[in-house]
Chains A and B, each alone.
Chain A
């Protein structure tokens, strides 16, 4: 036989054609599928085999005499007690594994950015108060406060606190931090709630551990406002030496000073229990700072020798499907806002603990006051939306109408679903008539609904709204979705009288909590000094006279309710404010939200206070720990 006639040599030298490869791959794939189908699903077989064994064991157990049973029960109880004692003695620590959708755009606590809270809340001592559960707050950076008179509040700073570089946290640093925040607002409009401090005339360091706020009018929410991370203490020395210049601020007396930001969070700028050790495109990691001060007295959330958790690891995972897979695989500890349609997937998973939480989500459709200055135009938009259909399509497990303030603030929310339904009324004919009658300084030929691209749920909601508006008004609608940072920049661009969009969509209404402050939840979205100004061209200085006049009225009403310290009287005022907003279709429109919300927690996470996960406060809960640490 000649050498080249060897079969195997010929087979090896035979060129593999693309077609042969494709056919071969197809056959291999089909074969693999068949093998998987044939050999998979062993669980059922195991169950089937296990069942008789279990039955046999049960029969044997039933045959045992009563004395044996008693002895067994005693032994079991002893074992349980021992396990409980062991768990009590177990090391409390571990790495909490979280996720977020994208990188942060900055870490300065005074400048609002999304995707940065897990770092800010852990690295900063969150002044001045911490709210472990809704409407209840404990002391964090402060040890107490005293309302000396209706317009004077005195805070006592926690002794012994220091920044990560060893500098003391004293009244000078606290006053500096507060002043820097207000100046940042004047310079760069950092997209947060100005209403948290506009009533403060003067903030002074009284002595080393005391600061005093002097107000121009009473404010019922001030102590809770100070629980927001914007008011975190920053180290004056580090801010001055390593901060980035944001601008020159001019005081009322004409003097000027430079104002710096700390977007990279340089070493030593914070005083919180953790220090950031990694921040890159894959996520962030903060690790416990060994020199963190003792937190006394211990209470719900704070422990004297805390925080227990050793490190927080936050992975960036843009895709929610991958997040769910990671959570189900046990690689993440929290999976927020579970769609009820997903619930069956979590059933029977050993390490998963799904908790039903109060539904306080928010979904908004804000209107550009530069274009929709005529109330009839705004009313037309709102009447073009079929709220029942929105609820049926989006909120499969039940939805509800949402008032300007959250119904989670039960003490202040007096508007029932029935009353809300009188405003949330779909009437395409009336909508079209109102649209035709409305006055437009800037012609609106196309209505652009603008949203963030990160959340596909939002894009589906927005497309549903767009279709309804187009159908009802006969006006072409377009949708645009961009990344969240671009979205925020374009949403808050106040350089022109009109926006490059008509309707701004944000919030999906899936889950959320409340700080207990009506302004945060969610009056700020209507406030002519808040998002009304920052995002919707609805403010007192608007070039559209009717918008300016409405804004003045609303500011008066908002000030009045904030100054009212009697809860009952304030609830009445808040109801009036909400009715006024709804009657006047002012600025923004809350869309229907989910009636239920579900959160998934890894069963190794202990003492996690589920409600706190709705509103960031979990991030300061120092008593949390991980079982298998």
Chain B
């Protein structure tokens, strides 16, 4: 419907639907979670798994059977799952159920912090450089090319060992976790930058951006009010899809022995170190942390896919 038809408008107020018809604005769709669950059953399953894991991690101090996941001698060493120790015990008599619950806190905390930092930083850099263009965009682009060329785990290891000692202890992130977050975020940032840069280049050529320029809007205002909001959907999708990778990266680094401090419960760390020596004698040591890790990653993956399809179906198959 063309704008010319507005000439026929009366003074009477229009309903939303009528206005939509009148001005060509698509009608607002109320989000129906049940409808979404029916349409995206795998996404719903993923969300359910995420909720279960998150609740387990958040309420670990209430759900655990022993208060301290580091405490040793809580039971006989390498005792299989039992009524006292639901997931069995490790070589030093630590309760595996308690460690899996608390390990989820570390894995989710580091995963979320990593992706937030990596995604926000990548988006901001993309917004600033792609919108500005010119030499800045070129230099940053090449720099990102160089970073992407370095194997991600290697980059994380280098950062971990080089800046690890210099970072401070934060209230929510002890130094060793902070180092991990920076190290892992460093290889998420370039990827996010690449995707976001493309979007900024596309958005800055839109008519509403040109219109904003015409009326004299400053660059910062255009970026903040007109471009950034249109990037939000993609950013959410990138976040949801990067999260499982971040959790796996934390597990990988912990598995390599450069993760969280020794003894700290973490799914990755609990699958490495001494534990690996006892996988045959105590297979539950591998099964339960591994299962928790797999469920979480699977949940985030399928939920991220559904989110992408819901928020922007055009991206299907692209990210």
For B77, the chain A residues whose CB sits under 8 A away are 341, 393, 396
> Which chain B positions have C-beta within 8 A of A318?
257
**Closest CB-CB distance, B251 to chain A, in whole Å?**
15
Decide: A481 and B261 in contact? CB cutoff 8 A.
yes
Are B278 and A342 in contact (CB-based, < 8 A)?
yes
A479:B273 contact, CB within 8 angstroms: no
Q: Which residues of A contact B257 (CB under 8 A)?
A: 318-319, 453
Which chain A positions have C-beta within 8 A of B274? 320, 456-457, 460
CB pair B92–A467 under 8 Å, yes or no, is: no
Q: How far is the CA of A392 from the CA of B74 in the complex (A)?
A: 11
Bits for B285-319, please: 1 = Cβ < 8 Å to A, else 0: 00000000000001001100110000000001100
Closest to A394 in B: B92
Fill in one digit per residue for A117-153: 1 if any B CB lies within 8 Å of its CB, else 0. Answer: 0000000000000000000000000000000000000
Contact: A464 with B302, CB < 8 Å?
A: no
Would you call B281 and A479 a contact (CB within 8 A)? no
B272 and A319 form a contact (CB under 8 A): yes
Distance A51 CA – B78 CA, assembled complex (angstroms)? 33
Q: A19-B305, A341-B91, A342-B281 are in contact. Are A463 and B276 (CB under 8 A)?
A: no
Question: Size of chain A's interface in residues, with CB distance under 8 A?
Answer: 33
A324 within 8 A of B: yes
Interface of chain B residues 55 through 96 with chain A (CB within 8 A): 68, 70-73, 77-78, 91-93
Judged by a CB distance under 8 angstroms, whether A52 is at the interface is: no
Interface contact A341-B278, CB-CB below 8 Å: yes
- Greatest chain A CB density within 10 A among B275, B277, B280, B317 is at B277
Are A459 and B305 in touch, CB under 8 angstroms?
Answer: no
Q: Measured between C-beta atoms, what is the minimum distance from B241 to chain A in Å? A: 8
- With a cutoff of 8 Å between Cβ atoms, the chain A residues found around residue B78 in the complex are 341
CA distance A23 to B301 in the complex (A): 11
Q: Which residue of A lies closest to B272 (CB)?
A: A319
Q: Once the chains are docked, how many angstroms separate the CA of A322 from the CA of B262?
A: 19
Least CB distance from B152 to A in Å reads: 19
Could you tell me the distance between the alpha carbons of A224 and B316 in the complex, rounded to whole angstroms? 75
The answer to whether A460 touches B92, judged by C-beta atoms less than 8 angstroms apart, is yes
Residue of B whose beta carbon sits closest to that of A480: B261
Please measure, in the bound complex, the distance between the C-alpha atom of A17 and the C-alpha atom of B313, giving whole angstroms: 12
Q: How far is the CA of A495 from the CA of B262 in the complex (A)?
A: 28
Q: Which residues of A contact B72 (CB under 8 A)?
A: 393, 460, 463-464, 467
CB distance from B208 to the nearest CB of A (A): 31
**In whole angstroms, what is the CA distance A481 to B263 when docked?**
10
Docked CA distance A345–B279 (Å): 10
Q: How far is the CA of A320 from the CA of B77 in the complex (A)?
A: 18
Q: Decide yes or no whether B42 CB sits under 8 A from chain A.
A: yes
Partner of B305, one of A18, A322, A479: A18
User: Which residues 426-479 of A have a CB within 8 angstroms of B?
Assistant: 453, 456-457, 459-460, 463-464, 467, 479
When chains A and B are docked, how far (Å) is the Cα of A117 from the Cα of B274? 24
Q: Which of B263, B281, B298, B305 contacts A17 (CB 8 A)?
A: B305
**Interface membership of chain B positions 253-266, coded 1 if the CB is closer than 8 angstroms to chain A and 0 otherwise:** 00001000111000
Q: Do B93 and A393 touch across chains, with their CB atoms under 8 A apart? A: yes
> A11 an interface residue at 8 Å Cβ cutoff?
no
Residues of chain B from 93 to 120 with CB closer than 8 A to chain A in the complex = 93
Total number of B residues with any Cβ neighbor in A under 8 Å: 32
Q: Given contacts A339-B277, A459-B262, A463-B262, is CB(A17)–CB(B92) below 8 Å?
A: no
The answer to whether B276 touches A319 (Cβ under 8 A) is yes
Q: A73 to nearest B CB, angstroms?
A: 41
| Residues of chain A within 8 A of B262, CB atoms compared | 453, 456, 459-460, 463, 479, 481
Q: Which residues of A contact B280 (CB under 8 A)?
A: 345
Chain B residues in 8 Å Cβ range of A481: 261-262
Contact of A345 among B91, B281, B316 (CB under 8 A): B281
Q: How far is the CA of A467 from the CA of B302 in the complex (A)?
A: 41
Q: Is A460 a contact of B316 with CB atoms below 8 Å?
A: no
Complex CA gap A375/B281 in Å reads 44
Shortest CB–CB separation between residue A347 and chain B, in angstroms? 12
- Residue of B263, B276, B277 near A460 (CB, 8 A) is B263
- The residues in A between 316 and 330 inclusive whose CB is less than 8 angstroms from any CB of B are 318-322, 324
**A339 in complex: contacting residue of B73, B91, B272, B316, CB < 8 Å:** B91
Neighbour of B70 across the interface among A19, A22, A342, A463, CB < 8 A = A463
Determine if A389 is an interface residue (Cβ-Cβ < 8 Å): yes
In the complex formed, the residue of B with least CB distance to A463 is B263
* A-B contact sample (15 more), CB < 8 A, given A18-B305, A481-B261: A17-B305, A19-B42, A22-B298, A22-B301, A321-B276, A339-B277, A342-B278, A394-B92, A396-B77, A456-B262, A457-B274, A459-B262, A463-B263, A467-B68, A467-B70
**29 A–B pairs (Cβ distance < 8 Å), ordered by A:** A15-B317, A18-B305, A18-B317, A19-B305, A22-B298, A22-B301, A22-B302, A22-B305, A23-B42, A319-B257, A320-B277, A321-B279, A339-B277, A339-B278, A341-B91, A342-B278, A342-B281, A345-B280, A393-B73, A393-B92, A393-B93, A394-B92, A456-B274, A459-B263, A460-B91, A460-B263, A463-B72, A464-B73, A464-B92
> Which 8 residue pairs spanning A and B have beta carbons closest together?
A321-B276, A456-B274, A459-B262, A393-B73, A456-B273, A19-B305, A15-B317, A463-B263
Q: Please list the residues of chain A having a beta carbon within 8 angstroms of any beta carbon in chain B.
A: 15, 17-19, 22-23, 26, 318-322, 324, 339, 341-342, 344-345, 389, 392-394, 396, 453, 456-457, 459-460, 463-464, 467, 479, 481
